[in-house]
Amino acid sequence: MSNPVVPVPPARIPRGGSMLPDLTFRAIYVWYRDFTVWTTFYKASLIGNLGEPLLYLLAMGWGLGKMVGSVNGVPYISFLAPGLVCSAAMYAATFECTFGAFTRMTRQLTYDAILATPVSLDEIVLGEILWGATKSFFSGTAMLVVMALFGLVRSPWAILALPLAFIIGLLFAALSMIVTAKSPSYDFFSYYFTLGIAPMFLFSGIFFPLGNLPGWAQTFAWFLPLTHGVTVSRALFMGTVSWEMLGDIAWLAVFFCLAFMLAIRGIRKRLVM
């Protein structure tokens, strides 16, 4: 005799239709679920997240670095390293909260299963974002260790690049959840990576000083979230810490809050409204 089919209840949204997030401690259960699954294949995941930044470090840092020499009195490979920590954090959160979140939402129906519990839809979104940021932290940690082994860490302040990687992860995880909410298929993500992530990777100051760009391009770069992360990371690596960094951190925080609210709204619209 077959087991009866138990219908999944509709996703819970805030009572009264409030646009405020419906959040409790239960979001941590979503994070823990993702973490538990990740521990079964963490080695492949870390290698994948580290591979591209390390290739850029070796090819651009040593190859192009021989031609460039130094930037603002700093060896090119040392100039490059802080930005690659940020790019590793960006890519880790982005892949997790696009392809990973989309798979859990549409293919594995993980969200449906979670919604059969007291966990709300908003808590799922927060849990996913926290997990994306955690993967950014892991990637940032691995990159920092490798760069320390290469002798590219010039200041003890560089250890603060780890919480910075988590902050960058929060922001890009939230942005990725917005895209995931709109995505009809995996192919849709190619637009986001080509039109959103690639410009940030190239024009956020990782590979060259932004002062080399024309004025309009510098203005464009200032509005890119990764630019502010790279600015802070480079200051930490070089030991040139100043109060101006707080402005960049505040920019990242404000942008995250906006992206988080839009992510919740987008997922609600897709699964509930």
Q: What is the pLDDT of residue 2?
A: 45
The pLDDT assigned to 8 comes to 42
Q: Look at residue 1 and tell me if it is in a domain.
A: no
Cβ(170)–Cβ(133) under 8 Å?
yes
In a domain, 200, yes or no: no
Q: Does residue 245 sit within a domain?
A: yes
pTM of the model: 0.89
Residues of the chain with pLDDT under 50: 1-9, 15-16
Amino acid at 14: P
pLDDT in tens, 205-232: 999 999 888 999 999 999 999 999 999 9
User: For the segment 71-89, what is each residue's pLDDT rounded down to a tens digit?
Assistant: 888 888 889 999 999 999 9
Q: Is residue 4 domain-resident? A: no
Interatomic CA distance for residues 115 and 165, integer angstroms: 30
255 domain-assigned: yes
Give the chain's domain count: 1
Instruction: Give the pLDDT of residue 17.
Output: 52
Is residue 5 situated within a structural domain? Answer: no
The percent of residues above 90 in pLDDT, for the chain, comes to 66
7 in a structural domain:
no
Domain-embedded: residue 14: no
**Counting runs of H as helices and runs of E as strands, what totals does the chain give?**
13, 2
**The pLDDT value given to residue 14:** 52
